[in-house]
């Protein structure tokens, strides 16, 4: 009788151990399955978040481009009219000195939106095309509308009649983002060279020249 009882206990112990192992296995199986499902949901959520961020960035860029101003210095055969102290003069749309000690630089906004807080500065270039004077002279206007051409005048008593100079134009879009145009006026060629377009945050030479935005036309071209 004792042997039968011991055998029965062993059987029930084995059954209990097996049942516990089976329950543990089932629990681990469903736990792993739930973990995999959770990980899949996390990965899906991350993917959706990334897609949303990309969509937001794309929308932001589209809105930005839809209102971005692009201010360029003009050098072409169009005629502009300048009036100073009751006197008027018509001139080709190129940089020229008039009246005395004043440089007139025609600017045009070829972008999609208005340019605000427009400021222009120049630095003389030496015979090796390097800035010869660290000091910049500044001129400004409140705004320049889309497709608008306006001659901006700057006091430059040091500028000779046939001088090359570096021109820097800063301006804001309607959202307050700052933009920058930099170019060099070459008197002999009658055009601007090395034109760059960038954000003010990136600096004047952060981007390569965008030849599709501006193709200066020499006088008479």
* pLDDT digits 0-9 by tens, 140-196: 999 999 999 999 988 887 776 678 889 999 999 998 999 999 999 998 888 999 899
**Which pLDDT belongs to residue 214?**
41
Indicate the burial class of 22 (C-beta count within 10 angstroms; 0-12, 13-18, 19 or more).
exposed
Mean pLDDT value of segment 124-143: 76
d(CA 73, CA 191): 9
Domain at 191, CATH number: 2.60.40.10
Please state which of the ranges 109-118, 122-131, 191-200, 201-210 shows the lowest mean pLDDT.
Answer: 201-210
Does one domain contain both 182 and 86?
Answer: yes
Give bridge partners of residue 125 from the DSSP assignment.
131
Does one domain contain both 30 and 103?
Answer: no
Q: Which residue has the higher pLDDT, 211 or 171?
A: 171
**Which pLDDT belongs to residue 105?**
92
Residue 48 lies in a domain: yes
Does one domain contain both 19 and 89?
Answer: no
**Residue 74 vs residues 92, 104, 107, 174, 214: alpha-carbon distances, Å:** 10, 11, 6, 23, 10
Domain range spanning residue 4? 1-67
Which positions ≥6 away from 81 have C-beta within 8 Å? 88, 89, 90
Does one domain contain both 90 and 175?
Answer: yes
191-199 and 71-73 strand pairing: unpaired
Give this prediction's pTM: 0.65
* pLDDT digits 0-9 by tens, 39-91: 877 877 777 777 667 666 665 666 666 789 999 999 998 988 887 666 777 88
**Which pLDDT belongs to residue 117?**
94
Look up residue 131 and give its DSSP letter: B
14 falls in which pLDDT band (50, 70, 90)? low
Q: Name the domain boundary from 67, 85, 105.
A: 67
**Which pLDDT belongs to residue 85?**
62
209 falls in which pLDDT band (50, 70, 90)? very low
Mean pLDDT value of segment 100-119: 91
Report CA 11 to chain centroid distance, whole Å: 78
Our count of domains for the chain comes to 2
208 falls in which pLDDT band (50, 70, 90)? very low
């Amino acid at each position: 009788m004792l042997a039968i009882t011991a055998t029965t206990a062993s059987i029930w112990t084995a059954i209990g151990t097996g049942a516990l192992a089976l329950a543990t296995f089932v629990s681990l199986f469903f736990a792993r399955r739930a973990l995999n499902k959770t990980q899949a949901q996390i990965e899906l959520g991350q993917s959706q978040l990334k897609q949303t961020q990309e969509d937001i960035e794309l929308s932001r860029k589209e809105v930005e481009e839809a209102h971005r101003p692009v201010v360029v210095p003009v050098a072409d055969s169009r005629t502009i009219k300048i009036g100073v102290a009751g006197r008027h003069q018509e001139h080709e749309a190129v940089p020229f000195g008039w009246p005395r000690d004043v440089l007139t630089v025609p600017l045009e906004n070829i972008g999609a939106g208005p340019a605000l807080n427009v400021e222009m500065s120049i630095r003389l270039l030496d015979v090796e095309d390097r800035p010869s004077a660290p000091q910049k002279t500044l001129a400004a206007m409140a705004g320049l509308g889309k497709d608008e051409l306006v001659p901006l005048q700057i006091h430059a008593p040091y500028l000779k009649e046939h001088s090359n100079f570096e021109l820097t134009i800063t301006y804001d879009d309607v959202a307050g983002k700052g933009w920058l145009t930099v170019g060099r006026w070459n008197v002999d060629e009658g055009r601007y060279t090395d034109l760059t377009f960038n954000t003010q945050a990136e600096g004047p030479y952060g981007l390569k020249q965008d030849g599709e935005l501006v193709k200066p036309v020499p006088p008479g071209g």
